[in-house]
Amino acid sequence: MLNISGKIVYSLCLLAINVSAQEATPFLNSPDTLNKESKNSLHSLYAGAGFGSNMVYLGSTISQDNPYTYGSITYGFKNEIFASVAAVHLSRLNPYLAFYIGSLNYSHAFNNWFDISAGIYRYEVVPSLEDTLFNSFTYSDLTLGFDWKLLYSKISAGGLFSTENQVFFQLRNSRYFQTPEFFNGKVNISFDPYVNLLFGTLTEVETSTETAYYYSISSPYRKWRNSGHVTATTDTIYSYSGRFGLLEVDFGIPVAFNTNFMTIEVEPSYVVPFYDDDYYLSTEGFVFNLSIFFRIF
């Protein structure tokens, strides 16, 4: 039976910073042990921390290809409404905390094959790093989940609000399974291999000296490029126009060690971009994330 599990709390602690999903509210079709004792509790509180080799979100690297660490805290109400805050440190950048993330999320399972979630997320960068990283922005999404027994599918539609607004769609297929519980039923190991497709706005760049090429555009990262805009240098004229298409495909195998009060998860993943941007290189290849979170009550 598909249940909203403690895994959603883990994902909210990450606040969409793991490369796998580019998303904030994953569901699994089986509860992990961390949430068994708190499923019927009115209130819950979780603390989390983690490390990653690169923070990739909505087709771009927020961390500018730098490793990151983070700390977070998540409050849950009736195991359906969650509020989270996180602070992120990027290697080789000052100040020590580069940006903050806040989220509010609602999730509900209607039966053993269909669930929904909706959320709003705020990424707030410190003023001194706005030119280096990105403009602060808000993202909101609505996700439908379908359990086909052999596969669990999620369809997400989201909007990004910043200097320019954009729409993103995602299709994620995964297969969750876990080992039998051991140590008197207090521990198990779970696996959730997935494939995630991200769709968004691609911008075509035409120049007076080169053949047209494509690159992805995300408002917080490239505020100076506008669809239909024309600029010129002494040698070249640039013309920009937009189209909707596939931005990237992500593959990952999250492996989690679950207990009644703690979860440790390792997630190796691989990113395949479907765009080419000479100015802002696409993120391609392996990305690694390690996270740990605790149930306080």
List per-block mean pLDDT (blocks of 10 residues) for the chain, which spans 297 residues: 42 46 34 47 90 87 88 92 94 91 93 94 92 87 94 94 85 94 89 94 67 49 47 60 84 93 93 72 82 91
| Confidence (pLDDT) at 65 | 84
CA pair distance 168, 186, nearest whole angstrom = 39
Domains with residue ranges and CATH for the chain: 6-194+247-295 (2.40.160.40)
| Confidence (pLDDT) at 2 | 34
CA pair distance 190, 61, nearest whole angstrom = 28
Half-sphere exposure of 6 (CA within 13 A, CB side): 33
| Confidence (pLDDT) at 1 | 30
| Confidence (pLDDT) at 280 | 53
Pairing, β 99-109 against β 166-174: unpaired
CA pair distance 79, 82, nearest whole angstrom = 7
